[in-house]
Structure 1
Amino acid sequence: MASAAKKAAHAGVSSADVESFAEYLKGCRRILALLGAGLSASSGLPTFRGAGGLWRTHDATELATPEAFQADPALVWQFYSFRRHMALKAAPNKAHYALAELSRRNKDFITISQNVDGLSQRALHPSEQLHLLHGSLFNVKCTSFFCRYTRKDDFTDPIAPSLAIPKKSSLVKTDEDQGETGTKQIEESDEEIDISDIGHHLPDIPVKDLPQCPECNGLLRPGVVWFGEPLPSKTLKTVDEWIESDPVDLMLVIGTSSSVYPAAGYTDIARAHGARIAVINMEQSVKTLGENDWFFQGDASVVVPEILKSVIGDI
């Protein structure tokens, strides 16, 4: 434990807090975790909105709507294919693996994730204990009214050939002696272009070349919750029933500002059911922490494995 406390102290976390948390954790049975984008920041994954809230010239939030998909499915699919690609270039960090290990060791530990990046799944977090509030970039579902086709954890990249990220090319003049009439040759490069850059033209993709349903040939869409859509009722019901079934010992709030409801409300609900709260974030995200709660400020990929070490060992 001294080693864990020392490492956490180097990350700016009080060793006394680490020790008191670790001691309490050993006696915990029912644990709830709420995950946000800060968990994946340590994996180098860009935030949803990106710099300035734009993807190319588009407001990212305006692309994440049913109306945008209906108006221009090719544009929306290119945006989500880019996000899928970036998520797959990132790797789960030690916090993802630590939470997955805690899940395997404690079947009374459940996780509510606001992330759609698939990193928890790739860290082999048990699916029955991972509840996705906003869906996943790697789930798809059919848009045809009478079709119920869905597919989960499809990590194919690209999901359709038309959505492959283009490679960079350079024009090389092969015969300068011919002046302006000289021939030019395109040399292919393995380096990908940045399709978030407005300097690169997005191809016009026919709807028939976008991801298609294998059952009805309808158009597939990303399996995420768009603005204006309800959160998955089955997921909400499952989490609510778990909380109501018995007292909660501990709630972990990791990498989230806890400002967006209903996710933010789980802290108060868990506290009402007896939970002590531990916040792990770069800045304090829960407005009111009790004297028996903890705030660990720092990089989740460093802090989470250290504070869970008393139960899960080294990751």
Structure 2
Amino acid sequence: MRITILTGAGISAESGLGTFRDAGGLWERYPIEEVATPEGFAADPGKVHAFYDMRRRDAARAEPNVAHRALAELAAARDVVVVTQNVDDLHERAGVQALHMHGSLFEAACTACGATAEWRGDMGLEARCPSCGAAALRPAVVWFGEVPRHLDAIADRLAVTDLFVAIGTSGQVWPAAGFAQEAAAHGAETLEISLEPSGGTFDEVIVGKASEAVPDWVRALL
């Protein structure tokens, strides 16, 4: 069985990382257009750097939770591809190399030469590109209005997957919101595991905390 798993902010929330769209989430405190768009970065790069420096520090302090570790256990035993909307590295630290469709907090992209590099500390306006030396770095995350990464690889996988599982995702951000339907169109079974149902069309929905529902589902599957 080929299993494709999409994870969203809900799986990292129990590691202490804030979600975006829930009440009190990041988008209530930080306007999207100011900190998560190319236009916002052009208007006030210092503000955007401060926002992502905060998120990078928070993500570095967080630890993978039992849901991340359960998916790593499943991936070690079955044919599993994890696609994530998250920009933290909790899947990797749990033992899974995920496809990060929205980029990573721990990479810098140079707007001068186009190079990318691993980046662990604060970035800021004075940080210089390791490749060309220009003070022209930005977080290597996909902002609103930009094209997500790995779309061809994801489409190829959805075309052959037997089971598609969405975990902790709102189902409101495209193109990820359409992955379940795309997988189903190719004959896959679909499952949603979420604290609240997204309202999408799934064959089965499990409502619960990721830290409880995901390990239970993995144990049942194995």
TM-score normalised according to structure 1 size: 0.64
Per-residue CA deviation, residues 265-290 of structure 1 (Å, 9 max, x unaligned), is: 1101111122111211111124333x
Q: Which one of 115, 128, 136 corresponds to residue 104 of structure 2? A: 136
1:40-189 alignment, distance < 5 Å: 40-48=12-20, 51=24, 53-55=27-29, 58-106=30-78, 108-125=79-96, 127=97, 130-144=98-112, 147-152=113-118, 154=119, 156=120, 158-160=121-123
CA distance in 2, matches of 1:95, 1:117: 15
- State the shift of 1:54 in Å: 4.5
Q: Which one of 147, 168, 174 corresponds to residue 255 of structure 1? A: 168
2:205 is matched by which residue type in structure 1? F
Native 8 Å contact 1:279 1:286 kept in 2: no
Q: Secondary structure at the match of 2:57?
A: helix
- State the shift of 1:75 in Å: 1.8
1:149 is matched by which residue type in structure 2? A
| 1:238 matches 2:153 | yes
- State the shift of 1:311 in Å: 5.1
Native 8 Å contact 1:48 1:60 kept in 2: no
Native 8 Å contact 2:33 2:40 kept in 1: no
Q: Given the superposition, is the C-alpha separation of residues 259 and 71 from structure 1 closer, same or farther in structure 2, using an over 3 Å criterion?
A: closer
**Paired position in structure 1 for 2:146:** 229
Native 8 Å contact 1:96 1:120 kept in 2: yes
CA distance in 2, matches of 1:212, 1:255: 36
**Paired position in structure 1 for 2:137:** 220
Q: Secondary structure at the match of 1:215?
A: coil
Per-residue CA deviation, residues 71-90 of structure 1 (Å, 9 max, x unaligned), is: 32222111100011112222
Q: Which one of 306, 312, 315 corresponds to residue 216 of structure 2? A: 306
**Paired position in structure 2 for 1:296:** 206
Q: Secondary structure at the match of 1:308?
A: helix
CA distance in 1, matches of 2:187, 2:24: 40
**Paired position in structure 2 for 1:272:** 185
Q: Secondary structure at the match of 2:176?
A: coil
Q: Which sections of structure 1, spanning at least 5 residues, go unmatched? A: 1-28, 164-206
2:100 is matched by which residue type in structure 1? L
Q: Which sections of structure 2, spanning at least 5 residues, go unmatched? A: none
TM-score normalised according to structure 2 size: 0.89
Q: Secondary structure at the match of 1:274?
A: coil
CA distance in 2, matches of 1:103, 1:305: 13
Q: Secondary structure at the match of 2:51?
A: helix
1:115 is matched by which residue type in structure 2? N
Identity among equivalent pairs (%): 44
CA distance in 2, matches of 1:103, 1:75: 38
Q: Given the superposition, is the C-alpha separation of residues 61 and 39 from structure 1 closer, same or farther in structure 2, using an over 3 Å criterion?
A: farther
- State the shift of 1:113 in Å: 0.7
Native 8 Å contact 2:166 2:192 kept in 1: yes
Per-residue CA deviation, residues 275-309 of structure 1 (Å, 9 max, x unaligned), is: 111211111124333xxx32211100111011111
CA distance in 2, matches of 1:110, 1:310: 19
**Paired position in structure 2 for 1:24:** none
Q: Secondary structure at the match of 1:43?
A: coil
Q: Given the superposition, is the C-alpha separation of residues 71 and 217 from structure 1 closer, same or farther in structure 2, using an over 3 Å criterion?
A: farther
